[in-house]
């Protein structure tokens, strides 16, 4: 059983639920009132065993069964996480924190700066406890000045530190666009290679649960043109920790996109040190009939649709592209060469999103291998509405994915 | 503080350094020194009726250099402000700045450099006055008007000129250009095209200095950062945001405003509700100082105090230097808006002429000494041009280098290899 709850005042709702329907230790909520428009109430996603329920009926608490296979059918390194060593279970935000903490212990130059990352522990608890452990200077609570503290992070990176800049919500980093585009991406080049900017810019983005248009933005589409940066999107606790560590060890500026709705995913991850390659995609489910390329939260919509498709006799291959810039054209290409049909499922807007770039890249490189035109399912070019149903209709739903695959495989 | 510092208007508060106390409401501002203590004339400059400027709002700060020098001489009961060596160093640096910029103009009109080139003529006192007090490990952040900051910080004239010519021997391999001078060796952190975007970078460098001392335990780390920017920038959000953060964390930074009254064609007085920029320092909890930026000795005295404050960990300072650029905003600017009388007024206050006069009248140097320096600098600048002329242009193989520190960032190509392993990549012809 799994259930999804909405934000502030959830305490009352939680106490009324049957106790066997969820593990109360996994509940996360920030009962903080927001008085300013920039601080949205956070929400709760409670999960059941290793899966995530994306039941989108806001009133619903349906039994969730058909995703059960999604995680288990992984055959690559992600699956190895549950097979070789016992490992330990944790939630995605804890995995991010673990990765960050380990790197901070390993290298004293790693520091965090952002709003409420220190004493508050981070709006989504990614930095909880770190300020107590490492001090206020290494986990710096900044004033609300995104452009300036991002620039400060860049200046610190140029002079020898390895900062992590947290955007409380990725959308707030629109205010830091000057610094991210001009300085973060370009300074290594315009300085003739003299200065490196080993900065990691991270934060949650994507469409949440009725957070309104401005808190539901997908900035990967805006930043993808900036030269000199890498962009990765995490989707599981395993790759969240791995990508966080890889990003922190990279000499390049990396933007790590997290998703507001994925922070409470639970998974068993290895105890030993590991990283996930920043430039590689992840094979989620090998298949024969169609390649479905996706990332971040849409991976779960795809896996939900995959179960339906399997029941209908299709065999989709699901690839989580993970690296939004640059694309892993090897993994993607091998998949296209095998299945000859491509469906892209993303959360970006239709216009100018990651899907649009990916469609172009695949057409350019693998046109001869395609038996059908590429279908790209993206969000509607609409500011995300507040009303729940309207919000559902702006993002891609599993039913649409199923229809698209059926159409592709005719 | 000596007599030169009295010439500066200082706006500060004896506030407690507890960041949670709302300082500006509790105690009164220490008011600026009354005009009568101000060295030199306090007459307001009256321009001809066609003037579009409202210069009298810049009250009391217009001082003829000759008056200052006379006053200094008669007032000095103590030693001179500089030694002979220092004087010659300052002179040489300013002459280098001036000669270099003049040569840039020549080269631009001869088609050796292109794009936007912003010259520093007239403002040399600020660069020399501040930067010559720094150590190698201290950092300087500038704007697009950065050639002379680079030279003062120690970047060789050859490297700067080559960069302007777009040659591979330039300090940024020809990839930056006039507006993006960087030098890791000399800790010149740019060179920025958008005004205001360098100030956070400077704040970051100052943050690193604090971090090194307090987290990495490099106890002797006291590196100071100077951020140079203009009057137009002082209306930009990043300026205020960084004043706040620097004061909040007591960073080792000095904010140097080169107020030359004009942001391209926008007069400072038409753009700013309160044109007295130095007053904005105390609002954020740091001293705000106004100084005559056409007088290198005055600038140097103020700079000593501000840099010293920063180095001792007492926090940042905002220094407003009243200065003027003799040329237009850039070499593409016809410079038609500025009143010729205003230009003439400041031309009479040429900082180089003033220093020369000071050195000679105080018997610190002879005409011959100074002429020797002039000649030497001419040779340096000509050598720089020759070097730049003879340097090679970047080859195509340089196109894709330096985009990423780790070129794996270009990703994995369809063949499974990293794109940077593709031989075409090193030729610069790979498709990335």
Q: Render pLDDT for A36-70 as a digit per residue (tens, 0 to 9).
A: 344 444 344 444 444 444 444 444 344 434 444 44
Whether B207 sits inside 8 A of A152 (CB atoms) is yes
Rounded mean pLDDT of chain B? 86
Q: Are the CB atoms for B84 and B365 separated by under 8 Å? A: yes
Domain boundaries, chain A: 87-270, 282-409
Report the residue count for chain A. Answer: 410
Nearest CA in chain A to B137: A159
- Percent pLDDT > 90 in chain A is 79
Question: Partners of A165 in the beta sheet?
Answer: A113, A201
Tell me: cis bond preceding B144? Omega within 30 of 0 counts.
no
Separation CA B230–CA B352 (nearest Å): 21
**Residue A163 to residues A113, A114, A249, Cα–Cα distance (Å):** 7, 10, 11
Whether A161 sits inside 8 A of B208 (CB atoms) is yes
Tracing tokens 């270009």 back to the chain, one arrives at: B410
Give the pLDDT of residue A410.
87
Whole-number CA gyration radius for chain B: 23
Q: Which residues contact B198 (CB under 8 A, 6 or more apart)?
A: B141, B142, B143, B189, B190, B191, B192, B227, B229
B413–A contact, CB cutoff 8 A: yes
Give the pLDDT of residue A243.
98
The A residues from 195 to 214 touching B (CB cutoff 8 Å) are 195-198
Tell whether B400 is covered by a domain: no
Whether A329 sits inside 8 A of B194 (CB atoms) is no
Q: What are the pLDDT digits (tens) for A77-125? A: 444 444 556 899 999 999 999 999 999 999 999 999 999 999 999 999 9
Q: Is A289 a catalytic residue?
A: no
First to last CA, chain A: 36
Selecting from B180, B401, B408 the residue whose C-beta is nearest the C-beta of A279 gives B408
Separation CA A82–CA A86 (nearest Å): 7
Q: Are the CB atoms for B190 and A191 separated by under 8 Å? A: yes
B412–A contact, CB cutoff 8 A: yes
User: Cβ contacts (< 8 Å) between B204 and chain A: which residues?
Assistant: 151-159
Q: What one-character DSSP code corresponds to residue A273? A: -
Which tokens hold the place of B419? 């794109």
A141–B contact, CB cutoff 8 A: no
B397–A contact, CB cutoff 8 A: no
Q: Is the pLDDT of residue A247 over 70?
A: yes
Same topology for domains A87-270 and A282-409, yes or no?
yes
Whether A191 sits inside 8 A of B182 (CB atoms) is yes
Q: Is the pLDDT of residue B68 over 80?
A: no
User: Cβ contacts (< 8 Å) between B136 and chain A: which residues?
Assistant: none
User: Cβ contacts (< 8 Å) between B171 and chain A: which residues?
Assistant: 192
Whole-number CA gyration radius for chain A: 20
User: A282-409 has which fold?
Assistant: Rossmann fold (3.40.50)
Q: What are the pLDDT digits (tens) for A290-337? A: 999 999 999 999 999 999 999 999 999 999 999 999 999 999 999 999
Separation CA B403–CA A85 (nearest Å): 39
> Mutation test of the interface with chain A: which of B168, B177, B201, choosing the one with the most A Cβ atoms within 10 A?
B201
**Which of A98, A166, A188, A215 does the annotation list as catalytic?**
A215
Q: Is the pLDDT of residue A210 over 80?
A: yes
Selecting from A157, A193, A198 the residue whose C-beta is nearest the C-beta of B173 gives A193
**Which of A98, A101, A146, A282 does the annotation list as catalytic?**
A146
User: Cβ contacts (< 8 Å) between A276 and chain B: which residues?
Assistant: none
Give the pLDDT of residue B12.
55
Question: Strand A44-46 vs strand A3-5: parallel, antiparallel, or unpaired?
Answer: antiparallel
A384–B contact, CB cutoff 8 A: no
B221 to chain A, minimum CA–CA distance in Å? 13
A153–B contact, CB cutoff 8 A: yes
Question: For residue B202, with 0-12 CB atoms within 10 Å meaning exposed, 13-18 middle and 19 or more buried, which class applies?
Answer: buried
Tell whether B70 is covered by a domain: no
Neighbours of A313 (CB within 10 A): 8
Q: Are the CB atoms for B12 and B32 separated by under 8 Å? A: no
Give the pLDDT mean for A237-261: 97
Whether B200 sits inside 8 A of A194 (CB atoms) is no
The B residues from 124 to 153 touching A (CB cutoff 8 Å) are 139, 141
Selecting from B190, B204, B418 the residue whose C-beta is nearest the C-beta of A156 gives B204
Q: Which residues contact B348 (CB under 8 A, 6 or more apart)?
A: B64, B65
User: Cβ contacts (< 8 Å) between B238 and chain A: which residues?
Assistant: 147-148, 151, 178
The A residues from 35 to 94 touching B (CB cutoff 8 Å) are none
Give the pLDDT mean for A177-188: 95
Give the pLDDT of residue B240.
98
User: Cβ contacts (< 8 Å) between A138 and chain B: which residues?
Assistant: 211, 215
Separation CA A326–CA A321 (nearest Å): 10
Q: Are the CB atoms for A337 and A365 separated by under 8 Å? A: no
Nearest CA in chain A to B179: A190
Q: What are the pLDDT digits (tens) for B9-29? A: 665 544 333 344 343 444 444
Selecting from A155, A194, A228 the residue whose C-beta is nearest the C-beta of B202 gives A155
Lowest mean pLDDT among A132-136, B157-161, B416-420: B416-420
Separation CA B211–CA B223 (nearest Å): 11
The packing angle between helices B198-214 and B237-248, to 10°, is: 10
Q: Is the dihedral of CA A121, A127, A132, A134 positive or negative?
A: negative
Tracing tokens 């100030």 back to the chain, one arrives at: B199
Residue A326, helix vs strand vs coil: coil
Neighbours of A86 (CB within 10 A): 9
Q: What are the pLDDT digits (tens) for A142-160? A: 999 999 999 999 999 999 9
Q: What are the pLDDT digits (tens) for B141-187? A: 999 999 999 999 999 999 999 999 999 999 999 999 999 999 999 99
B207–A contact, CB cutoff 8 A: yes
User: Cβ contacts (< 8 Å) between A179 and chain B: which residues?
Assistant: 197, 200
Give the pLDDT of residue A84.
55
Nearest CA in chain B to A179: B197
Give the pLDDT of residue B103.
97
**Residue A259 to residues A64, A92, A237, Cα–Cα distance (Å):** 21, 10, 12
Separation CA B297–CA B301 (nearest Å): 6
- Percent pLDDT > 90 in chain B is 76
Give the pLDDT of residue B35.
39
Which tokens hold the place of B113? 């450099």
B332–A contact, CB cutoff 8 A: no
B212 phi, psi to nearest 5 deg: -60, -40
- Percent pLDDT > 70 in chain B is 81
B377–A contact, CB cutoff 8 A: no
> Mutation test of the interface with chain A: which of B143, B174, B207, B407, choosing the one with the most A Cβ atoms within 10 A?
B207
Segments forming the whole domain that contains residue B324: 84-395
Whether A178 sits inside 8 A of B411 (CB atoms) is no
B214–A contact, CB cutoff 8 A: yes
CA A6 to chain centre: 20
Give the pLDDT of residue B190.
86
Neighbours of A20 (CB within 10 A): 7
Q: Is the pLDDT of residue B424 over 90?
A: no
Q: Is the pLDDT of residue A195 over 80?
A: yes
Which tokens hold the place of B77? 């009961």
Which tokens hold the place of A142? 């900044």
Which tokens hold the place of B172? 């940024």
Q: Is A215 a catalytic residue?
A: yes
B405 to chain A, minimum CA–CA distance in Å? 6
Selecting from A135, A147, A197 the residue whose C-beta is nearest the C-beta of B200 gives A147
Q: What are the pLDDT digits (tens) for B217-264? A: 998 899 999 999 999 999 999 999 999 999 999 999 999 999 999 999
Give the pLDDT mean for B41-51: 38
B66 phi, psi to nearest 5 deg: -60, -35
Whether A193 sits inside 8 A of B194 (CB atoms) is no
Give the pLDDT mean for A177-204: 96
> Mutation test of the interface with chain A: which of B200, B224, B236, B242, choosing the one with the most A Cβ atoms within 10 A?
B200
Size of interface A-B (CB pairs under 8 A): 194
Give the pLDDT of residue B422.
86
B29–A contact, CB cutoff 8 A: no
Give the pLDDT mean for A238-244: 97
Which CATH number is correct for A87-270, 3.40.50.2300, 3.40.50.300, 3.40.50.970, 3.40.1190.20?
3.40.50.970
Tell whether B334 is covered by a domain: yes
A258 phi, psi to nearest 5 deg: -105, 170
Q: Are the CB atoms for A165 and A200 separated by under 8 Å? A: yes
Residue B95, helix vs strand vs coil: helix
User: Cβ contacts (< 8 Å) between B408 and chain A: which residues?
Assistant: 278-279
How many structural domains is chain B composed of? 1
User: Cβ contacts (< 8 Å) between B432 and chain A: which residues?
Assistant: 326
User: Cβ contacts (< 8 Å) between B173 and chain A: which residues?
Assistant: 192-193
CATH label of the domain that carries residue B378 = 3.40.50.970
Whether B201 sits inside 8 A of A323 (CB atoms) is no
Whether B201 sits inside 8 A of A155 (CB atoms) is yes
Separation CA A271–CA A263 (nearest Å): 20
């Amino acid at each position: 059983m799994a259930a999804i709850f909405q934000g502030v005042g959830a305490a009352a709702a939680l106490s009324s639920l049957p106790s066997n329907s969820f593990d109360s230790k996994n509940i996360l909520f920030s009962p903080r009132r927001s008085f300013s428009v920039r601080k949205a109430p956070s929400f709760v996603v409670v999960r059941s065993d290793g899966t995530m329920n994306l039941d989108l009926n806001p009133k619903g608490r349906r039994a969730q069964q058909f995703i059960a296979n999604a995680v288990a059918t992984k055959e690559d390194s992600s699956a190895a996480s549950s097979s070789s060593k016992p490992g330990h279970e944790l939630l995605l935000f804890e995995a991010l924190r673990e990765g960050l903490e380990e790197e901070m212990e390993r290298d004293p130059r790693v520091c965090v700066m952002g709003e409420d990352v220190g004493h508050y522990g981070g709006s989504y608890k990614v930095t909880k406890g770190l300020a107590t452990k490492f001090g206020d200077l290494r986990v710096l609570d900044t004033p609300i000045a995104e452009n300036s503290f991002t620039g400060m992070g860049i200046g610190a990176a140029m002079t020898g530190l390895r900062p992590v800049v947290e955007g409380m919500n990725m959308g707030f980093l629109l205010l830091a666009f000057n610094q991210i585009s001009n300085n973060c991406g370009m300074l290594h080049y315009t300085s003739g290679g003299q200065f490196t900017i080993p900065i990691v810019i991270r934060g949650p983005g994507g469409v949440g649960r009725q957070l309104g248009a401005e808190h539901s933005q997908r900035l990967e589409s805006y930043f993808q043109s900036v030269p000199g940066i890498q962009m990765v999107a995490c989707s599981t606790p395993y790759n969240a920790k791995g990508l966080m560590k890889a990003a922190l060890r990279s000499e390049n500026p990396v933007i790590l996109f997290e998703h507001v709705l994925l922070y409470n995913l639970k998974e068993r991850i290895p105890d030993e040190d590991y990283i996930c390659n920043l430039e590689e995609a992840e094979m989620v489910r090998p298949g024969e009939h169609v390649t479905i390329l996706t990332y971040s939260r849409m991976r779960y919509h795809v896996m939900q649709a995959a179960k339906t498709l399997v029941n209908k006799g299709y065999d989709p291959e699901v690839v989580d592209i993970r690296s939004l810039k640059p694309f892993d054209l090897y993994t993607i290409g091998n998949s296209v060469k095998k299945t000859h049909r491509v469906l892209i499922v993303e959360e970006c807007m239709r216009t100018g999103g990651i899907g649009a770039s990916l469609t172009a890249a695949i057409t350019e490189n693998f046109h001869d291998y395609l038996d059908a035109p590429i279908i790209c399912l993206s969000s509607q070019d609409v500011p995300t509405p507040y009303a729940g149903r309207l919000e559902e209709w702006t993002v891609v739903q599993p039913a649409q994915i199923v229809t698209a695959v059926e159409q592709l495989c005719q | 503080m000596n007599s030169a510092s009295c010439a500066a208007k200082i706006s500060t508060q004896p506030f407690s350094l507890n960041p949670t106390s709302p300082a500006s409401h509790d105690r009164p501002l220490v008011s600026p020194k009354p005009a009568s203590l101000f060295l030199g004339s306090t007459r307001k400059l009256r321009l001809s009726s066609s003037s579009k400027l409202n210069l009298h709002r810049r009250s009391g700060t217009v001082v003829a250099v000759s008056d200052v020098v006379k006053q200094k001489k008669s007032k000095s009961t103590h030693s001179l402000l500089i030694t002979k060596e220092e004087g010659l160093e300052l002179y040489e640096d300013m002459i280098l700045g001036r000669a270099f910029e003049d040569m840039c103009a020549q080269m631009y009109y001869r088609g050796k450099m292109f794009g936007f080139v912003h010259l520093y003529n007239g403002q040399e006192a600020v660069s020399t006055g501040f930067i010559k007090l720094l150590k190698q490990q201290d950092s300087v952040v500038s704007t697009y008007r950065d050639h002379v900051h680079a030279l003062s910080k120690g970047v060789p004239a050859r490297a700067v000129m080559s960069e302007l010519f777009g040659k591979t021997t330039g300090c940024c391999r020809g990839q930056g250009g006039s507006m993006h001078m960087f030098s890791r060796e000399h800790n010149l952190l740019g060179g920025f095209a958008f005004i205001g975007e360098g100030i956070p970078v400077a704040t970051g460098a100052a943050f690193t200095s604090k971090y090194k001392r307090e987290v990495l335990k490099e106890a002797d780390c006291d590196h100071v950062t100077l951020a140079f920017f203009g009057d137009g920038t002082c209306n930009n959000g990043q300026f205020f945001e960084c004043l706040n953060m620097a004061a909040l964390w007591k960073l080792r930074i000095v904010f140097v405003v080169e107020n030359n009254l004009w942001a391209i064609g926008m007069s400072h007085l038409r753009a700013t509700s309160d044109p007295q920029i130095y007053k904005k320092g105390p609002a954020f909890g740091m001293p705000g100082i106004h100084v005559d930026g056409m007088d290198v000795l005055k600038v140097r005295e103020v700079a000593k105090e501000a840099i010293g404050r920063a180095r001792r960990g007492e926090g940042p300072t905002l220094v407003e230097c009243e200065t003027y650029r003799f040329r237009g905003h850039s070499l593409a600017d016809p410079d038609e808006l500025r009143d010729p009388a205003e230009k003439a007024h400041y031309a009479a206050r040429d900082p180089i002429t003033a220093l020369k006069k000071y050195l000679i009248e105080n018997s610190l140097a002879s005409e011959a000494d100074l002429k020797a320096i002039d000649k030497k600098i001419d040779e340096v600048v000509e050598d720089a041009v020759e070097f730049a002329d003879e340097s090679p242009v970047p080859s195509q193989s340089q196109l894709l280098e330096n985009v990423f520190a780790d070129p794996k960032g270009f990703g994995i190509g369809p063949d499974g290899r990293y794109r940077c392993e593709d031989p075409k990549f090193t030729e610069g012809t790979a498709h990335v």
